Amino acid sequence: MRTPIIVFITVYAVCILGMVLVPGLPDANGQSTYMSFFHAYYFLAYTATTTGFGELPVPFSNAQRVWAICCLYISVITWLYTVGKIISLLKNPHLHSAFEEERFIRAVSKKTRDYYLVCGFGDTGSLILRSLTESGFSAVVLELDDERIKALELRDYPTKVLGLCADARVPRYLLGAGIETDKCVGVLILSNDEEANLKVAVSARILRPDIKIICRSTSADNESEILAIGGDTHVVDPFRVFASYLSLVIYNPTIQTLNEWMSGESGVALDRNICPLKNGKWILCGHGRMGTVVYKKLSKKGIDITVVEPLVEKIENIAEHAVLGRANLENLKKAGLSDCVGLIAGTDNDTFNLSMVHQANRENGSLFSIVRQNKHSNEVLFKKADVNYILQPSLVIARMVLFMLTAPLLKSFFAHLRLLYENDPTRLADIMNRLALEVGGNFPALRTYTINKKKTPAVYAKLFENESVDLGDIYRDPANREGFLKMVPLVHRRGKVIKVLPADNLPLREGDELLFCMRPKHQVLLEANLANRYTLDYLLTGKDLVRSDFFKWLRAKA
């Protein structure tokens, strides 16, 4: 805007100066009169806008009229040039981007709550944001696709999510998103571009050496590069996660049910047994990057699996366990469709996955079908299809990342369950029954609490006064201190020592970390127990202590 404004001011200055210098009609003494600067500006103001009030304040001389004609044409042309330039500039998308960036930076700087910086708002990012906001967390988004940012603005998240259409690989956008501030507690890098994810991870680590970074990657080379940046860095491989999840569906159905229940999967009950079919033959359609990981994972579990793949170079190492060709009915029959117990449609094409399952079900009515859903937008089709189980990689990754953020101790809990599944199934059943009885329902809440002055002030104060507080004391029911809130402590960590399903008589210490599984409505009551010293005093002693200074004085006088 600098050039048109300078031209505009210059033209007006010359025109005004000319009107002041050009002599007007002579006065009564025969002396030439001259227009003042104010009157010259006033005349130019209404003339240039083509309003035309006339020759004011006095009639003009012929010389003034000639100069007025010149000013009229020059100023109108200048107006058209200046206004046209300004309008074209206002329509420039780069200017809009600059305005949006400035608004975004100001809004981020005003955030008072801790938040996660999410780089990439695809299916995975969308699902993570939904879960994060429903869990009470805040987030800020950087996404290169403008259409996705427009979609973000229409989402009805429980908390406001700020978003900017920007390339997270450019460091200034990371700075604008507040990565250097203490309010930014983590960076989630979730795009499908491997090189972009690596660059963002490196930039984030340089800009903020102590920040938590969770990065998506499907490349072993990229994974090693990302982990090499050091610090609190984690890599999530969607294919490896998908394979592990698939292994649970087939091999550890009880643990898989518990996993889904804790994730808040709709309609999942703790008494559900998904797939008791591990002893039998399976067919895997597709041996790409994901199929390769799935095949290795299931083969290690001793599952008999045959691959159907159209590209010969992808099955060179497993030729004796593969059928070359597209996964049509003919090749599925070659793979043993008639006597297999399950089919995994795992290609990256949703339409093809649904088609092959439909054909297979007509040939083998007892077939257990597991289908990969690649795009969240196809959810309606998959729910209507005749399939036993739908695995959506983006959803699986979103659950894993959410657990890493909200319940990092959950990994130890599931590791313990896997050992029980192998060695003591009865004990595993007892745990499931306890969770069903003491928590139950759908959509449980998972929360991690650290015993310190900021997060649990009431407990911290008691420990500071050398008073004993046991684990069972903090989740008693304030309405009935002999009973307990609807929750189960899953994991306790003190330093490097981890206890799964700790006993209620475990004495607490400063710095202890506790993972609870609870009914959402009881979360407020638990946090009141941890924060309110009067509530905690009542739970510990059974006595409701006097709170008011007046009543304390009155009791002392009594």
CA-to-CA distance for 414 and 404, rounded, in angstroms?
Answer: 13
Average pLDDT over residues 40-61: 78
* Max intra-chain CA distance, the chain: 122
Global pTM value: 0.76
- Ranges 12-21, 175-184, 359-368: which has the least confidence: 359-368
CA-to-CA distance for 281 and 295, rounded, in angstroms?
Answer: 13
| Helices marked H in 49-193 | 62-90, 93-109, 123-134, 146-154, 171-176
Task: Please choose, from the candidates 217, 180, 177, 178, the residue with its C-alpha nearest in 3D space to the C-alpha of residue 197.
Answer: 217
- DSSP code string of 308-343: EES-GGGSGGGGGGEEES-SSHHHHHHTTGGG-SEE
Task: Out of 270-279, 440-449, 523-532, give the one with best mean pLDDT.
Answer: 523-532
- Residues 130-155: tens digit of each pLDDT: 888 887 889 999 999 988 998 888 88
- Residues 493-505: tens digit of each pLDDT: 999 899 999 999 9
- Residues 410-460: tens digit of each pLDDT: 989 988 988 888 788 888 888 988 998 999 888 888 999 999 998 899 999
- Residues 299-343: tens digit of each pLDDT: 887 888 999 999 998 888 898 889 999 888 899 999 999 888 889
Reported confidence tier of residue 264, pLDDT bands at 50, 70, 90: confident
Write phi, then psi, for 126 (nearest 5 degrees): -65, -45
In the chain, the domains with their CATH numbers are 2-90 (1.10.287.70), 110-236 (3.40.50.720), 267-406 (3.40.50.720), 412-541 (3.30.70.1450)
| Average pLDDT along the chain | 87
CB 128 within 8 A of CB 151: no
Reported confidence tier of residue 237, pLDDT bands at 50, 70, 90: confident
Structure tokens, 83: 């206004």
Tokens 């505009």 belong to residue: 8
Average pLDDT over residues 551-558: 56
Amino acid letter, 24:
G
- Does pLDDT of 480 surpass 80? yes
- Give the H or E element holding residue 450: strand 445-450
Reported confidence tier of residue 272, pLDDT bands at 50, 70, 90: low
- Does pLDDT of 394 surpass 80? yes
CB 446 within 8 A of CB 523: no
- Residues 99-133: tens digit of each pLDDT: 889 999 999 999 988 999 999 998 888 888 988 88
Reported confidence tier of residue 274, pLDDT bands at 50, 70, 90: very low
Q: How far is CA 345 from CA 59, 372, 374, 445, 462, in A?
A: 91, 6, 11, 32, 57
Residue-wise burial string across 451-479, b where 16 or more C-beta atoms lie within 10 A, e elsewhere: beeeebbbbbebbeeeeebebebbbbeee
CB 451 within 8 A of CB 459: yes
CB 291 within 8 A of CB 298: no
Q: How far is CA 451 from CA 443, 508, 515, 530, in A?
A: 26, 8, 12, 9
